Amino acid sequence: MILVNGPGRMIGYLGDAEPTADAIHDDYYVTGDPGYLDAEGFLYIAAIAWPASAKSEARWSRT
């Protein structure tokens, strides 16, 4: 499961506390997307939580 934190992370759903409580844990946003880091520290998103995009895999650099 991919967790996100940092200055660009969302702070919550406007006016909707219940989904915010489900999405934010220990100050991390839980994306719901499965992923992994390779030996070089690149993040691979194995599938996207949205069904229309679930067929792709992306590679992101750790910054």
Cα 54–59–60 angle (5° rounding)?
120
For 20, the enclosing helix (H) or strand (E) is: helix 17-23
| Predicted pLDDT of residue 42 | 92
By three-state DSSP, how is residue 18 classified? Answer: helix
Return the pLDDT at 53.
43
Model pTM?
A: 0.61
The residue-averaged pLDDT of 22-31 equals 89
